[in-house]
């Protein structure tokens, strides 16, 4: 990595943070220039560049791929819709393998159009993950279920607590089967996102239950009081009410040893010059995480 700035060990950029300003090639170059050693692409940006070309660029710049966002979205009103989701996830696994991603993040999906059957949607999520797990294991790509805040249960993700996500892991993969012989992580685990879990009174027990082999990713941003948009007004590190240093310490104590992946979906930060966004992340990171 040829960086104009000192390397910030353990820091990763989720490309959603600057998705409105840059394409993936620009993001890769900027991570190297800002001394950010990790990157987690979203699939829309990856599709613009192509997985093979992106993988070559990422390797050339010495970056680690901390995850690929996102798979999931399993529930659908028809069998054909559910099968299409499974096929899309299989393609996502292949792209993650091409990139050498540490995991494929699963945002599982909410209620199918016209449905009020939350339990049924969760069953579709379970069945969808079970249908793709063997392909993920064969490809060497761990699947990371990301629970989302309950406000997203209807439209984005009906898995809303870390405990729920771990229940799915235990139901689908009760043996905690490793990704491959000798691997330190399971083929099926969880992604912990500060924005979605910081409020959970059972978080510490769930982190301990997950342990090192199920904790596959850790995403950080901040929660703004009087937020203007529950999806697209997430806070820069240190601007909100999440005790990120404490949360990071708890995640590490549970056994996580990977990157701190900054994922800020924010109309405000998308209006800021992107080099300023990355410089702000670099500046805030040491004070806000363990």
pLDDT at 222 over 80: yes
pLDDT at 178 over 90: no
Strand pairing class (68-72; 104-107): parallel
Average pLDDT over residues 236-253: 97
Q: What is the pLDDT of residue 4?
A: 72
Q: What is the pLDDT of residue 189?
A: 97
Question: Residue 69: which pLDDT band, with cuts at 50, 70 and 90?
Answer: very high
Q: Where are the domains of the chain?
A: 11-288
Q: Which CATH number does the domain 11-288 belong to among 3.20.20.70, 3.20.20.150, 3.40.50.620, 3.10.450.40? A: 3.20.20.150
pLDDT at 2 over 70: no
pLDDT at 181 over 70: no
Q: What is the pLDDT of residue 264?
A: 98
pLDDT in tens, 90-107: 999 999 999 999 999 999
Q: What is the pLDDT of residue 3?
A: 63
**Would you say the C-alpha torsion 219, 199, 113, 226 has a positive or negative sign?**
negative
Average pLDDT over residues 23-49: 98
DSSP β-bridge partners for residue 217:
191
pTM: 0.96
Average pLDDT, the chain: 96
Find, among 36, 47, 37, 50, the residue nearest to 70 by Cα.
Answer: 47
Q: What is the pLDDT of residue 177?
A: 74
Q: Which residues contact 188 (CB under 8 A, 6 or more apart)?
A: 129, 133, 136, 142, 143, 145, 169, 172, 173, 177, 214
Average pLDDT over residues 191-195: 98
pLDDT in tens, 120-141: 999 999 999 999 999 999 999 9
**Would you say the C-alpha torsion 64, 261, 277, 23 has a positive or negative sign?**
positive
């Amino acid at each position: 990595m040829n960086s104009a700035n000192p390397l910030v060990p353990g820091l990763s950029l989720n490309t959603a943070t600057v998705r409105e300003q840059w394409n993936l090639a620009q993001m890769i170059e900027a991570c190297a220039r800002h001394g950010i050693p990790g990157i987690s692409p979203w699939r829309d940006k990856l599709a613009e560049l192509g997985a093979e070309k992106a993988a070559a660029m990422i390797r050339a710049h010495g970056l680690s791929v901390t995850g690929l966002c996102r798979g999931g979205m399993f529930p659908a009103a028809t069998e054909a819709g559910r099968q299409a989701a499974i096929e899309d996830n299989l393609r996502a696994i292949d792209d993650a393998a091409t990139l050498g991603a540490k995991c494929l993040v699963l945002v599982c999906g909410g209620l199918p159009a016209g449905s009020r059957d939350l339990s049924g949607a969760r069953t579709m999520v379970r069945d969808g993950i079970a249908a793709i797990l063997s392909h993920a294991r064969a490809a060497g790509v761990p699947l990371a279920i990301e629970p989302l805040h309950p406000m997203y249960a209807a439209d984005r993700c009906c898995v809303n607590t870390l405990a729920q996500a771990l229940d799915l892991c235990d139901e689908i993969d009760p043996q905690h089967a490793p990704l491959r012989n000798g691997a330190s992580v399971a083929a099926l685990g969880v992604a912990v996102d500060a924005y979605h879990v910081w409020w959970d009174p059972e978080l510490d027990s769930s982190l301990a239950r997950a342990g090192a082999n199920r904790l596959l990713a850790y995403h950080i941003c901040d929660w703004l009081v009087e937020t203007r948009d529950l999806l697209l007004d997430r806070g820069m590190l240190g601007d909100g009410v999440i005790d990120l240093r404490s949360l990071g310490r708890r995640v590490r104590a549970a056994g996580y040893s990977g990157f701190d992946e900054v994922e800020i979906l924010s109309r405000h930060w998308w209006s800021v010059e992107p080099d300023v966004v990355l410089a702000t992340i670099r500046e805030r990171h040491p004070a806000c995480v363990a």
